[in-house]
Structure formats: structure tokens, C-alpha cells
Amino acid sequence: MSVKLPPDILLKLKAYEALLLKWQKAVNLVAPSTVDDAWNRHFEDSLQLVDLIPQSATSLIDIGSGAGFPGLVLALARPDLAVHLVESDQKKGTFLLNVSRETGAKNVNLHDQRIESVLPNLCGDVVTARALASLPLLLTLSRPQWERADRPATLLFLKGAEWQKEVDLARVGHEFELVVIPSKTNPDAAILCISAVREKKNP
């Protein structure tokens, strides 16, 4: 495993996996090609972020949560965090609520609206996203969180093989500090840890 977890947390994650496999038969929550290897492809992938969350963080916002990766996994792994899941798809939202209830994840808040409507009204220390959008768009969507003068959010984005191209495109319109961490679950993928984001001014 990418992170050591207490036995009770691991049991909750396994219950989450069982619910995912059950619901997947009726609702398309994840790509069918990943179902047989769901633990590694989705849970282990999400757990890579646990040790990257700043020690001082008390809240996390996961945008485009889908089936809960990485947001709901992080909520279970870090019950001390207030976790906001932003997912406008009603069926996926129902699934997220069901898993939260079945696993006793009391630190989860679901926002079943569009990201653009929700983020200006939240305050998160960390913003996460996985398989949602290109990096330039992610920076635009998360702007209400990183542009806060008092406590700008740290961004943790799980990215696939095209991550370097996305970084190059994002640097056209933004300046930011970047730490790239190779993925432990996919040799072509990476985790982008982004901070100190600033929008470039037109000359």
C-alpha cells in the first residue's frame, strides 16, 4: 500500500470498494476496464495523496468527485479533515452519500452543484482533482481557493501521461510553484503539487 492505515480505516475502505463494485452494475461510476483492478487503479491511486496533505490543513475540497476518487478515500483515511465533495451528477452524488453513510464518514459534505457555483462559497486548505479536466482549466476552476490572500490553498492533482504538456500549457497563463511526484500506481502518471499560483498579466 502507498500509505499505512489503521485496521479500522482499511476495513472502511474495503467496504467502500464492495459498494463500488455493487453499484457499478447499475451505475457507470468508473471505467469498466478498471473494475477488475479497482483497488489499485482507484483506491491506491487516491491514497498516494494522504502524505502530501500539509500538516496544518483542516479542510479539503475535491472537485468533480465522481465516484469519490480521491476525495472520499481521503475523507476516510483522514477523518480529522473536513472534506467537501463537489459533484453535480445526481446518481454519483447519491452513491457518495450512500458510501459516506455506510462507512460512518461524518466529515464529508456533499455539494451537488457545478464547481463554479460552489467554490466561491467554500474555504479549503487543499484542493484535489482526478481525471476531471486539463491543468489550465483546473487552475481556472480552483481560482477562488488559490487566490485567497489570507490562506491560499495547495493544489494536488493526479495526472496521466500527458502531464508535462498540461503544465506547459498552464504556464502560458499562470505562474506557480510545482513539485512533481511520480505515481506509484502508473509509471506514466504523476501527482502535481501546486502552490503560489498567480495569473500572468497581459503585457
- Quick one: pLDDT at residue 1? 64
Q: Does 2 reside within a domain?
A: no
Q: What is the pTM assigned to this prediction? A: 0.95
Query: Is 1 a domain residue?
Result: no
For residue 3, the model assigns a pLDDT of: 76
Chain segment 120-147, per-residue pLDDT in tens: 999 999 999 999 999 999 999 999 999 9
Kindly indicate the confidence band of residue 201, based on its pLDDT and cuts at 50, 70 and 90. confident
Q: Which of 93, 74, 72, 112 is nearest to 23 (CA)?
A: 93
Count of domains for the chain? 1
Pairing of strands 174-182, 154-159: unpaired
CA distances from 125 to 17, 34, 55, 120 (A): 27, 31, 10, 14
C-alpha triplet 39, 183, 185: angle, nearest 5°: 30
Cα Rg, the chain, nearest whole Å: 16
- Answer yes or no: is 130 within a domain: yes
Is 163 a member of any domain? yes
Examine residue 62 and state whether it is found in any structural domain, yes or no: yes
Distance of CA 33 to the CA centre of its chain: 21
Q: In which domain, by residue range, is 104 found? A: 7-199
| Cell reading at 150 | 489570507
Please state at what angle helix 90-103 crosses helix 7-24, rounded to 10 degrees: 150
Mean confidence (pLDDT) of the chain: 95
pLDDT of 100 over the 70 cut: yes
Asked whether residue 39 is domain-assigned, the answer is: yes
Backbone angles phi, psi at 132, to 5 degrees: -110, -55
**CATH code for the domain of 181:** 3.40.50.150
